[in-house]
Chains A and B, each alone.
Chain A
Amino acid sequence: MSFKNILENFSKYRRGAEEGGHHEYEHRWGMAIDLNLCIGCNACSTACYAENNLAVVGKDKFEKGQAMHWMRIERYWDDADAGRDFPEQGALFLPMLCQQCGAATCEPVCPVAATYHTPDGLNAQVYNRCIGSRYCNNNCPFRVRYFNFWSYYESSWPEPLNMQLNPDLSVRDKGVMEKCTFCVQRIRTAKDKAQRENRAIVDGEFQTACAQACPTGAIVFGDTMDPNSRVTKLWQEHEVERGPYTSKKPKQNAELRGYRIFEELNVDPSIMYLERVRETEV
């Protein structure tokens, strides 16, 4: 999208969820992540490093919070463990990545519109427009934006590690913000292919790298506008709908497992999580 277009149609790309958000969607890519299946194994996260040219920053920079893990697996101990000798119910794992919000809080604060909403429902980052203000990062409730404090090209990919770099996307340089793109290069390839073959994209014909790798199939990726996609069906089954937060309840249907993290912030996340199931009889 050109900068001119952004300036001219600024408000259109800045519409909040309650105003209907961005209107002319072609696709709205989304996910369903089942926490009953996720085992916290890191396969998805490592697959993302492999697919998306993520820099390895090393111990010192990791300590400063400069790691670039677009997909990170949070491990929480149960609050209830405080009163027990042992974490008898195991740990809690949470795959956390950019939620590609429909009304993203990171977008309106960017002074140069380097992060904007695409007609695919993606929260895109234009690297060569980014000036590194990091406002978006401050404004992301999920903490999934990662800033290149350094130039990692040489330190992260000493020869011949650089031969592994995916030529379908760039290596980001110092001063630029980056984050999960829903593997936009894979989306691009699939769209081009479908167009060449004069057909619509078929659900499942491509996946994000994380969903592809996940051994338990916890991550389901697809177009939430395609009524037949697996992801749409899961959202429907669990009665989670896109749009603004109106119900004032923590979940749209308390009896079902679907929920969106921080839905109450009205950011309209594109990822539905399914609650972790816990045995009560032990």
Chain B
Amino acid sequence: MSKMKSVKIDRRSFLKMLGWGGAGTALAGCDLPTTVTLEEGKEEVVSYLMPEEYVIPGIGVWYASTCLQCDAGCGLHGRVREGRVLKLEGNPDSPINHGKTCMMGQAGVQAHYNPDRVTSPMLRKNGTLQAVSWDEALSELNGRLGAVSGDRFAMVTGTVSGHQAVLVSALMEQMGSSNHFAHETINARVWRQVCEDMLGDPMPRLRLDKAQVILSFGADFLGTWLSPVHMATEYAKFRSAPRGMLVQIEPKMTLTGGNADLWLPARPGTEGALALGIANFVIERGWNKVNVTPNVRRALAEYDLPKVEEITGIPVSKIKRIASLLSERSPALVLAGASAAGFEDGYESVAAAMLLNIIVGAVGETIEASAQFPEAALLARQGSTADLIKFAKGLENKAFDVVLFANTNPVYTAPEALGLEKGLAEVGFKVAMTQFPDETAMLADLVLPLASPLEDWGTHVAAYQAGGDPVISVQQPLMEPIHKDVRGFGDVMLGLLKARNKEFEQFADYYAYLKTAMLNMPGLADKDNKNDAAWNNLLQKGLLSAKPAKGKLSIKAHTVEVAGYQHSKEYPLHLVPSARLGLWDGRHANIPWLQEAPDQIAKVVWDSWAELHPKTAHELGVKNGDIIRVSSASGSIETQVYIHKGVHPDVVAVPMGQGHTAYGRYAKNRGANPLKVLNPITDKKTGELATHATRVKVSKVPRKNILVKMGGSETQMGRPLVRTVSADQFRRTEGEG
């Protein structure tokens, strides 16, 4: 398929173009898979290069690919019959997801077959977007790109890795711009920074399977944190004999919290103080496995238990119990997620949790050095909200003339207070590469319709590498594009590059580029014939594992300073914009299966809701289904109330995902978007949006509504449907493992 044109380039720049920066030795030992994966009960898993297999009547054929529903990078097998992809399952060979998927992964087919895709390029003419040909669209775009200089060009994407990241970097280089912003609302940016600073490794491997007790400060690892499917597979091992114990501290019960042995809400934003209090008590009792410097010791001593109880609202007895569990049930693992990180001193809170890890000896036991993919150019450019804020600052300073958005919808996710829409109005030319008519596309001057992930090529290197050896996962089309006028992301990028750099002309298309890249991977074992058969095998297997660039953890425990708790008279409550496994950051609101799937905790469907503790609801005089207005200094939203005890009384929790003003029939004009009313507060250290720091007040709106949710009764009403057994009995009968 690849048509090589004769442009003379030297080997080094050739390799660089393909994303190989010369880590040949590090990659040595990469073996191309040589066997066809034959899964029991599945018809043969074949590669794309047998296109006739698409159409064997009545026979389903499985192709390997990669899930792009979030950035965890799970491997897929897609069942294709008569040229259509029907069903997705996990790729059993992937060390990330071991053949499993989450609900969003299952619903990938409904993103692909979505009735509200953008099917043709659209150019704004006289104020409205009008269908145009690709020729017209690209000539307009190339003209605009030709006229913009250096940093006045910006590109905004989600998390991007693999060869797509190589092409993004190449385009930025061609344009002479350093303004690539990677934006994800649901991210682990603060955790990464803390890991890097305190352990010398930004993404250490977490051994849930080894832990006997996990203390999680709001890390929803079963739902929305780092790599949910992988974590759930590890959780299964953690819960098997000898069964580990899970303690979850968070202001609003997440899916992970729903599975905890002990669930407690600390006063929002005081998770750091709680961690320090536990650390102090552990050391006081001499339970620590690692000694800390006198400096750290002195700082910790400030957190005596009565004081910590006063700050956090967690009783001394509970704090003591948690502290003793961490030492009794070693090895322990302490995690910290969005609700700990989402404050001005979020970094410090997460660092406090990490300090606890160090003290109880988790580092080296349940926290291991990561096994990173050894090619820097292919590593994930992980999205953050700090990048979104930087982008917004740039807009405010009128720093950009042309902005290219790809697979991201910041006009929906950005808080109103960042002034994104206003800033964008001043940008001369805005381009949205997207599959859907989302809010960002609606403001663009040019919309380029992308192929769906199930129609496109790509390679992906997950940021969280789960197994012993890091993998690069291949994304191959599972069918021909449904709409003839869409183009793959790589193809569009390659086209833009060809217009600027002749060297890229040797690749007929992104497919040819990828194939060349993979077969020219330096260090690919010589015994592999770098030919079609090898390529074919790679596509059958769906991934390639490399020898890791294995790091070492080096502990740097430093003192941590968390802020005290401030009460607010005007805004007495905290807004928790909770993340859902399902609608995610709102990107899946256009998928009917996911709208109809009841939220795991609230069980509400097709709408937004505000979770309130019964005590708070009583004070406000509201019942289930009543409409309330949630107002911050930056704006207000209205939604229906759902009352339950799994939320701190000082909190109103509104899930992200709804409140779209565009995005197709299933998403548009449904519910409210809590991200819009967040105050522009940031974590001091990382610049991340402090998602949980916004204070709000709540008032009743005189409108009634019926809360539509699954399940008539909130409890079992004494019926023994879900029976429980004590862990003691479990240990007695099912052993210590």
Q: Give A246 Cβ to nearest chain B Cβ, in Å.
A: 18
B596 surroundings in chain A (CB, below 8 A): 56-58, 62, 67, 69
Give which listed residue, A59, A73, A215, A261, contacts B607 with CB less than 8 A.
A59
A216 surroundings in chain B (CB, below 8 A): 232-233, 235-236, 239
A42 touches B582 (CB 8 A): yes
The verdict on A250 contacting chain B, using a C-beta distance below 8 Å, is yes
Interfacial residues of chain A within 32-80, with CB under 8 A of chain B in the complex: 35-37, 39-43, 45-47, 49-51, 56-59, 62-63, 67, 69, 72-79
Chain A 194-210 interface 0/1 with B at a Cβ cutoff of 8 Å (1 = within): 00000000101111010
Give the distance in Å from the alpha carbon of A120 to the alpha carbon of B243 in the complex: 36
Give the distance in Å from the alpha carbon of A43 to the alpha carbon of B582 in the complex: 10
Q: Give A204 Cβ to nearest chain B Cβ, in Å.
A: 6
A78 surroundings in chain B (CB, below 8 A): 715
B115 touches A159 (CB 8 A): yes
- Chain B CB within 10 A, most for which of A59, A84, A216: A216
Give which listed residue, A76, A202, A280, contacts B40 with CB less than 8 A.
A202
B258 touches A45 (CB 8 A): no
B594 touches A282 (CB 8 A): no
A278 touches B109 (CB 8 A): no
A90 touches B720 (CB 8 A): no
B235 surroundings in chain A (CB, below 8 A): 39, 216
B601 touches A75 (CB 8 A): yes
Interfacial residues of chain B within 601-630, with CB under 8 A of chain A in the complex: 601, 603, 605-607, 615
B595 surroundings in chain A (CB, below 8 A): 56
Give the distance in Å from the alpha carbon of A40 to the alpha carbon of B103 in the complex: 11
The verdict on B18 contacting chain A, using a C-beta distance below 8 Å, is no
A280 surroundings in chain B (CB, below 8 A): 726-728
Give the distance in Å from the alpha carbon of A99 to the alpha carbon of B114 in the complex: 33
Give the distance in Å from the alpha carbon of A77 to the alpha carbon of B128 in the complex: 51
Chain B 124-142 interface 0/1 with A at a Cβ cutoff of 8 Å (1 = within): 0000000000000000000
The verdict on A8 contacting chain B, using a C-beta distance below 8 Å, is no
Binds B, one of A22-30, A110-118, A223-231, A252-260: A252-260
- Beyond A49-B593, A73-B600, A90-B263, is A281–B258 a contact (Cβ under 8 Å)? no
A278 touches B724 (CB 8 A): yes
A88 surroundings in chain B (CB, below 8 A): 262-264
Interfacial residues of chain A within 89-148, with CB under 8 A of chain B in the complex: 89-94
Interfacial residues of chain B within 187-205, with CB under 8 A of chain A in the complex: none
Closest partner residue, chain B, to A81 (CB atom)? B645
A161 touches B110 (CB 8 A): yes
A43 surroundings in chain B (CB, below 8 A): 100-103, 105-106
Give the distance in Å from the alpha carbon of A7 to the alpha carbon of B255 in the complex: 50
A37 surroundings in chain B (CB, below 8 A): 236, 239-240
Closest partner residue, chain A, to B261 (CB atom)? A279
Give the distance in Å from the alpha carbon of A82 to the alpha carbon of B645 in the complex: 9
A251 surroundings in chain B (CB, below 8 A): 723
Closest partner residue, chain B, to A36 (CB atom)? B239
A167 touches B603 (CB 8 A): no
Interface residues on B, range: 35 or more
Q: Give A263 Cβ to nearest chain B Cβ, in Å.
A: 10
Q: Give A46 Cβ to nearest chain B Cβ, in Å.
A: 4
Closest partner residue, chain B, to A57 (CB atom)? B596
The verdict on B565 contacting chain A, using a C-beta distance below 8 Å, is no
B727 touches A277 (CB 8 A): yes
Give the distance in Å from the alpha carbon of A81 to the alpha carbon of B258 in the complex: 13
- Beyond A213-B100, A257-B733, is A90–B259 a contact (Cβ under 8 Å)? yes
A87 touches B41 (CB 8 A): no
Interfacial residues of chain B within 245-304, with CB under 8 A of chain A in the complex: 245, 247-248, 253, 255-265
B603 touches A75 (CB 8 A): yes
Give the distance in Å from the alpha carbon of A280 to the alpha carbon of B114 in the complex: 47
Q: Give B360 Cβ to nearest chain A Cβ, in Å.
A: 17
The verdict on B703 contacting chain A, using a C-beta distance below 8 Å, is no
A281 touches B721 (CB 8 A): no
Known A39-B255, A164-B110; further 18 A-B contacts with Cβ < 8 A: A40-B255, A41-B222, A42-B581, A46-B594, A47-B101, A47-B106, A51-B87, A62-B605, A74-B710, A87-B263, A90-B260, A256-B733, A259-B723, A276-B725, A279-B261, A279-B726, A279-B727, A282-B262
Interface residues of A (CB under 8 A from B): 35-37, 39-43, 45-47, 49-51, 56-59, 62-63, 67, 69, 72-79, 81-82, 84-94, 156, 158-167, 186, 190, 202, 204-207, 209, 212-218, 250-251, 255-257, 259, 261, 273, 275-282
Q: What 6 pairs across the A-B complex have the smallest Cβ distances?
A: A215-B232, A279-B261, A206-B41, A59-B606, A91-B258, A216-B236
